[in-house]
Structure 1
């Protein structure tokens, strides 16, 4: 045992811990300065320092603390076993953390080879998606392996773990768990990451909602809708359900703007106006521009403007700019093209419509008709008619 000036063991332990802390600080400072000097022209060294500095400090601290306490405090049999198990568990966990950080650095290093913008932006988004999923797998695997290794240092648990790993029943348990929905989502998340079906910032349409992929995890995918809502969907949705991906190979998209106009619209001038609007908008990518009449139905002319943009967000703004500017142009420069409803009456010169022919009447009927009073179409009763009616009904008594 090490003793400083014959001091009590606890005081010696405190002094040893202070010395260990000083050594950790000195070593950390030296490595930091070394990485800063060597990393001026090597960005990967800066990334390595950022990822591994804290785990390195933790591992060094655990090792030096174990040595300092072991050399200054006397332990009996049971206390020595507990002391050893505690520091073995801490060392295993810290080393596992350091290994996981190194693997995360390797994943980030692979991502740094891709540009975040430019012509290969879709490749960068695919790499980011894969790296994020790999990092989550590394984190989950590191925790599982670290905790399992720490538990296996305990003799009783180690025996149980060895028995389970060696038994065929354990494999059947794993197979049964894999069939559950949770692990199905995990496998689906890994499939999405490495198949490239969807990537971060992809423009998608799911369940009738338009948005872009904001986050991909091992179990779910977050879609940010255009109105700032979030759709949280299980990973299995994108492996089992149909959906639209507008940026599968490229972010460029085509758009259409339709106008229902009158037959008096000036198509050549309207086409020239469209070209000018696109040039001045700052949103057009210069790939596609056309103006065509697509249909003539119901007394209207349907005109379609085909436009293009670098991504769906610019297309959203560009289509509305084209619609608004074209409407203002029609109102000021070509009002004859505005939609309208026409009603037209036609009269032929010299045409005389024939009058309906009248049925010839008996002279007696003409005399009777003449006796009708004006404004009253009822025929007046005559004495002869009254006498004829009485003769036809002899049973009616006169009053």
Structure 2
């Protein structure tokens, strides 16, 4: 008669706890190293600050995955490995997003907005902001797709999904043609330099500045502190005025309704004093 196998669950839990402690310790060492590097580099300090949480999460999960895969499989370890794998994909995606945002911020830091002629800086800022939004969408889609592909049933269904993607794409394109048009118009605005963030424009007989440009809409800050939200296709299909297309300075007209008895020469002298 064979004896029943001993339950090794307590040993597995002890090993997992040790692996979690080891992973967290490695994360602390990496964090301290990054902080020391940050004393000599502002970029390294920013990376250490932003990447601390995703790095801790990813390293701890990686240690747990290595420990689970190195031990004999238990009845309950399969589900834990699956959950840890999903969390690991999320942590890596988080780290990639942090690194991408850091690179984009470094690119923005090279171009100052508080200068007399900031046209090039505004153009770069507009493009980087849109690229950041695109980056978030791409990273999210890749992360979700990677998570789904860890399930065998999804991998098996992948062939049929790809086969029917053409038909689905046609119907989706017809149903969402307005939204897609706005997305392509947003990309066109960013890379054709038609408008930039902080440009002075006149739209719908309203004077204001471009406050935000997204993939689907543009926010115009009106002079009286209102916000006009227009679809991106508006700026590719409707004529509008851009007063800062060629230079940052704005030329305007000031009209004063005065009485005939106003001393014009004294008023002109006061104007010159204020201008000086």
Normalising by structure 1, we get a TM-score of 0.59
Distance 1:262 1:225 in 2: 31
Distance 1:260 1:86 in 2: 73
Q: How does 1:98-247 map to 2 (within 5 A)?
A: 98-165=95-162, 167=163, 169-171=164-166, 173-174=168-169, 176-178=171-173, 180-247=177-244
For residues 243-294 of structure 1, give each alpha carbon's deviation from its aligned partner in whole angstroms, at most 9, with x where no partner exists. 2222223221122334567888876655444312322xxxxxxxxxxxxxxx
Aligned residues: 269
Q: How does 1:1-399 map to 2 (within 5 A)?
A: 9-70=8-69, 74-76=73-75, 79=76, 81-165=78-162, 167=163, 169-171=164-166, 173-174=168-169, 176-178=171-173, 180-258=177-255, 270-279=267-276
In structure 2, do the counterparts of structure 1 residues 174 and 104 end up closer, same or farther at CA, with 3 Å as the change threshold? Answer: farther
Q: CA deviation at 1:136?
A: 1.0
In structure 2, do the counterparts of structure 1 residues 200 and 10 end up closer, same or farther at CA, with 3 Å as the change threshold? Answer: farther
In structure 2, do the counterparts of structure 1 residues 270 and 141 end up closer, same or farther at CA, with 3 Å as the change threshold? Answer: same
Q: CA deviation at 1:176?
A: 5.0
- 2:117, 2:247 within 8 Å by CA — same for their partners in 1? no
Cα RMSD, aligned residues only: 2.9
- 2:97, 2:136 within 8 Å by CA — same for their partners in 1? yes
In structure 2, do the counterparts of structure 1 residues 178 and 97 end up closer, same or farther at CA, with 3 Å as the change threshold? Answer: farther
Distance 2:125 2:58 in 1: 30
For structure 1, which runs of at least 5 residues remain unmatched after alignment? 1-6, 280-399
Q: CA deviation at 1:26?
A: 2.5
Q: CA deviation at 1:115?
A: 1.7
Distance 1:188 1:195 in 2: 10
- 1:9, 1:73 within 8 Å by CA — same for their partners in 2? no
Distance 1:112 1:124 in 2: 10
In structure 2, do the counterparts of structure 1 residues 223 and 40 end up closer, same or farther at CA, with 3 Å as the change threshold? Answer: same
Structure with greater proportional strand content: 1
Q: CA deviation at 1:138?
A: 0.8
Higher Rg? 1
Distance 1:266 1:120 in 2: 37
Q: CA deviation at 1:74?
A: 4.2
Give the secondary-structure state (helix, strand or coil) at the position aligned to 1:153.
coil
Greater RCO (CA < 8 Å, at least 6 residues apart)? 2
- 2:200, 2:242 within 8 Å by CA — same for their partners in 1? yes
Q: CA deviation at 1:142?
A: 0.8
For residues 11-53 of structure 1, give each alpha carbon's deviation from its aligned partner in whole angstroms, at most 9, with x where no partner exists. 4444334433433332233223222222233222123223433
For residues 339-368 of structure 1, give each alpha carbon's deviation from its aligned partner in whole angstroms, at most 9, with x where no partner exists. xxxxxxxxxxxxxxxxxxxxxxxxxxxxxx
- 1:204, 1:246 within 8 Å by CA — same for their partners in 2? yes
